[in-house]
């Protein structure tokens, strides 16, 4: 029997950067995100003679070890699995392929092995594979709160995509895999950044501000707190030793341009993750002008426009 699941990446507005427990991949603070449409991971699983993972048609290498170690840590008993996972967008380039990847896998494995997990349990399972994947179980606006332990640190939906249909313009400033993985970067920050403690302490207040802004559809308030969160995360990255410089000159140029556009009255703000791409969150009426302005910037090599989408789900194999 083959089971296929589909999931979309998500973009954090209030960022996750740092873990308090490596064994259960427990984040040291909460986070909040929007799930995208258009960018898709599709993962097919079936029982097999031995474990095998194909990533975009090629043997998964280091990713395969990571995936099977995760499954062994989370499931008491499982058969060997053949996993075939494909992304229709660049893998490991700061476009959150691990989020959609682990979310799709969690849903597919749960169905194949008939584990009957709830959405919350799927979110915990996905989180143990990749922290951001906990959020891709759900669509629209999603919040992840710290619980008292691993099993209660779980994402939950805030609003469906249709309840506030924002658009996202993604300026790719450099394609190809990122220099330092998120997991490795976070550990470096936790161990060496003098800003790390202050960073984890400020997330709870930012989460509340963002949650209220979303509830009230207050774009300006969401813009202010989201921009502050990504800049603070990059301050932690840069202040790690040695410093993690994910921003490129073209990323900075895009951020400056979007700030100018906002001063001129457009509803748009930037966020960035552990890579050089700039994601611009827009009200739909501002997205055309934002895309046109970014297309003109030297150093922007590719532009994508996506909307908000739904959570991970099964599709016919």
The contact set with ligand DP6 (CB under 6 A) reads 12, 15-17, 25, 31, 98, 130-132, 182-183, 273-274
User: Minimal distance in Å, beta carbon 237 to ligand DP6?
Assistant: 9
Choice between 12 and 169, CB closer to ligand DP6 = 12
User: Minimal distance in Å, beta carbon 62 to ligand DP6?
Assistant: 13
Note whether 152 and 216 are within 8 A (CB).
no
For the chain, state the CA radius of gyration.
Answer: 19
Note whether 85 and 63 are within 8 A (CB).
no
User: Minimal distance in Å, beta carbon 11 to ligand DP6?
Assistant: 7
Interior angle at CA 128, CA 122 and CA 132, nearest 5: 80
Rounded to 10 degrees, the C-alpha dihedral 223/229/233/234 comes to: 30
User: Minimal distance in Å, beta carbon 131 to ligand DP6?
Assistant: 3
Choice between 130 and 226, CB closer to ligand DP6 = 130
Choice between 11 and 213, CB closer to ligand DP6 = 11
User: Minimal distance in Å, beta carbon 291 to ligand DP6?
Assistant: 23
Choice between 19 and 266, CB closer to ligand DP6 = 19
Interior angle at CA 170, CA 169 and CA 172, nearest 5: 150
Strand partners, 303: 171
Cis peptide before 227 (omega within 30 of 0): no
Number of residues that this document lists for the chain = 317
Choice between 20 and 52, CB closer to ligand DP6 = 20
User: Minimal distance in Å, beta carbon 31 to ligand DP6?
Assistant: 5
Choice between 48 and 73, CB closer to ligand DP6 = 73
Q: Quick one: residue 205, left, alpha or beta (phi over 0 = left, psi -120 to 50 = alpha)? A: alpha
The 10 Å Cβ neighbour count of residue 62 is: 8
């Amino acid at each position: 029997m083959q089971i296929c699941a589909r999931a979309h990446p998500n973009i954090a507005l209030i960022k996750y950067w740092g873990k308090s427990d490596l064994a259960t991949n427990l984040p040291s603070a909460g986070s909040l995100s929007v799930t995208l449409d258009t960018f898709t991971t599709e993962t097919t699983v079936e029982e097999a003679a031995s474990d095998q993972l194909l990533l975009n048609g090629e043997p998964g290498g280091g990713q395969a070890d990571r995936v099977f170690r995760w499954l062994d840590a989370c499931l008491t008993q499982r058969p060997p699995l053949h996993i075939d996972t494909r992304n229709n967008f660049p893998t490991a380039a700061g476009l959150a392929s691990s989020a959609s990847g682990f979310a799709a896998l969690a849903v597919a494995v749960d169905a194949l092995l008939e584990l009957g997990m709830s959405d919350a349990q799927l979110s915990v399972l996905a989180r143990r594979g990749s922290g951001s994947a906990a959020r891709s179980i759900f669509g629209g606006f999603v919040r992840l709160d710290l619980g008292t332990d691993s099993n209660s640190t779980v994402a939950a939906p805030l609003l469906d995509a249709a309840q506030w249909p924002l658009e996202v313009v993604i300026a790719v400033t450099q394609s190809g895999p990122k220099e330092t993985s998120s997991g490795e970067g976070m550990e470096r920050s936790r161990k060496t950044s003098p800003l790390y403690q202050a960073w984890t302490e400020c997330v709870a207040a930012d989460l509340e501000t963002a949650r209220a802004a979303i509830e009230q559809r207050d774009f300006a308030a969401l813009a202010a707190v989201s921009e502050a969160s990504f800049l603070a995360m990059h301050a932690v990255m840069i202040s790690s030793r040695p410093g993690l410089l994910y921003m490129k000159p073209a990323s900075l140029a895009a951020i400056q341009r979007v700030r100018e556009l906002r001063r001129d009255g457009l509803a748009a703000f930037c966020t960035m993750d552990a890579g050089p791409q700039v994601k611009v969150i827009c009200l739909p009426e501002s997205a055309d002008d934002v895309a046109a302005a970014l297309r003109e910037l030297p150093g922007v090599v590719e532009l994508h426009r996506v909307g908000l989408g739904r959570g991970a789900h099964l599709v016919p194999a």
